[in-house]
Amino acid sequence: MTATESPNPLHADLDLYSSVAMAEALIADQRLAVEAVYAAHAKIAEAVDAALPRMAQGGRLIYVGAGTSGRLGVLDSAELHPTFSWPQERALGILAGGTKAVFDAVEGAEDSHADGIADLERHGVNGHDVVLLITASGGTPYVMGALLAARRAGALTVGFANNPGAALTAGADIGITLDTGAEMISGSTRLKAGTAQKVALNTFSTMMMVSMHKVYGNLMVDVRATNNKLVARTVALTKHATGATDALAASTLQACGHNVKLAIVVIKTGLVASVAAKLLEDKGGSVRAALGETAS
């Protein structure tokens, strides 16, 4: 029996706990998830460094999983476009059982090795892609099938599993073990195993976006202004980065199509938007490079 499936000996009487004691115990157990991800930080950094050249070649981030793990992959992929303007077609969330499985359990979907192969092949996985395979057990047949298809296609494979010595982490190009141990409710990996996966995926994708110049300092300068809240955020970000007034930030953003990066370069350099846009393009989208700034 794997660690994630084993009953937790520390909480054999969970159903007898008071509400306060149960809340304390569940939250304390979740802290172990962050510790498990922290222990794997060097492997996550290795995965980012290996993935970046594929993205420079136009590759995609493809998340694959079943159940909770798959839903977490779908969530991470969906958030990259509004947060960082990452092209939607370059962040795919593939879930055993398809879209229906986001909302309803599709019984048996995770057990099909053949479906994992077929779903990856249907999406035309190739050597420029980075495939993130996520499973608590580390041996889910659907995910292992996807791993096989991804490796055949020459994609970079990164496996996330919560059990040490898992087949997935052994078979992936880079295996990341998030050793969260037994769950408080035996086998319920939506608890700290899922939390660890969420933190690890969030860390990986955020590092990727920062490294691809989607962030200036720690400012979200590639945000998509798709609603009133985000329009206000673009003004605040531009003001913070440049020291401009509300009026100058707003008018410059208007002239720049609410592109925060471009507005920052326009205000800081005094260039017109078209010239500033060409400068940004020549500098690979890096605001720092466009402004001639160097790391301190």
> In sequence order, what are the residues at sequence separation of 6 or more whose Cβ sits closer than 8 angstroms to the Cβ of residue 273?
255, 256, 262, 266
Whether 281 sits among the annotated catalytic residues: the reply is no
Q: Is 121 a catalytic residue?
A: no
Q: How far apart are CA 273 and CA 116, in angstroms?
A: 47
Q: Which residues of 239-249 are buried (b: 16+ CB within 10 A; e: fewer)?
A: bebbebeeebb
In whole angstroms, give the CA distance from residue 156 to residue 125: 10
**Among residues 5, 35, 89, 110, which one is catalytic?**
110
| C-alpha neighbours within 13 Å on the C-beta side of residue 290 | 27
Count of residues in the chain:
296
Token digits of residue 204: 């990986």
Contacts of residue 107, Cβ cutoff 8 Å, sequence gap at least 6: none
Q: Which one of 5, 46, 79, 121 is the catalytic residue?
A: 79
Q: Give the residue numbers annotated as catalytic, written as ranges.
A: 79, 110
